[in-house]
Chain A
């Protein structure tokens, strides 16, 4: 059982390019999340999905889009990357039904936009 996988592990991207970060979970979790983590700041929620077919905006959604065509996959797309999107991106999932609803994280993607 892999849990949550993310690809790529790291990427250097020219400003203005389009980029999709991939996230797949095999835990059959209902909810999935995308966060960015920047030095000195807490994890910030970009987008989330409570169940397949639905998505919602988090704290910092501008410049990012997501889709949730099925339970397992939750890709994050940067339509036209800018240097301020340089960050470490974490995908997470939770079952979405328990009281605790603990989030479990993928290994992260380190993205540099030049």
Chain B
């Protein structure tokens, strides 16, 4: 079967750095996405990785290792507005997105 694993919840301090991990086992791989979802709102696109390595976009970076079936999202200089759920999704061999259950990130002052 296909499986995306993420921690259910993480807590971090304002101004700090946090790393949210995602491991996957899917039938085929055509890219990995990270989305942010604030409570009661729609998911919004953060990043896309299809090749191994680190993609940096401002305070957010995303890393992929295809051989290990592993990705992480790194958030720097955390702000209170970063409190949200972070969803990892993999595009499988049928080009459909398989979604993890999401990681709820709680930021404390």
Instruction: List residues of A whose CB falls within 8 A of some B CB.
Output: 40-45, 48, 58, 90, 99-108
B42 touches A108 (CB 8 A): yes
Instruction: List residues of B whose CB falls within 8 A of some A CB.
Output: 4, 31, 33, 41-45, 48, 50, 87, 89, 91, 95-102
The 8 Å CB contact of A104, one of B4, B45, B96, is B45
Give every chain B residue within 8 A of A42 (Cβ-Cβ): 4, 87, 89, 98-102
A-B contact count (CB 8 A): 42
A105 touches B42 (CB 8 A): yes
A48 touches B96 (CB 8 A): yes
- List of 6 A-B pairs having minimum Cβ-Cβ separation, nearest first: A42-B99, A105-B42, A43-B99, A42-B101, A102-B45, A100-B48
Main secondary structure of the interface of A (DSSP, over half): loop
- In whole angstroms, how far apart are the Cα atoms of A63 and B97 in the complex? 21
Give every chain A residue within 8 A of B4 (Cβ-Cβ): 42
B101 touches A40 (CB 8 A): yes
B57 smallest CB distance to A (angstroms): 13
A111 smallest CB distance to B (angstroms): 15
- In whole angstroms, how far apart are the Cα atoms of A104 and B43 in the complex? 8
- In whole angstroms, how far apart are the Cα atoms of A44 and B102 in the complex? 12
Give every chain A residue within 8 A of B45 (Cβ-Cβ): 102-104
A90 touches B97 (CB 8 A): no
A102 touches B48 (CB 8 A): yes
Given the interface contacts A100-B48, A102-B33, does A45 sit within 8 Å of B97 by beta carbon? yes
Give every chain B residue within 8 A of A99 (Cβ-Cβ): 31, 50
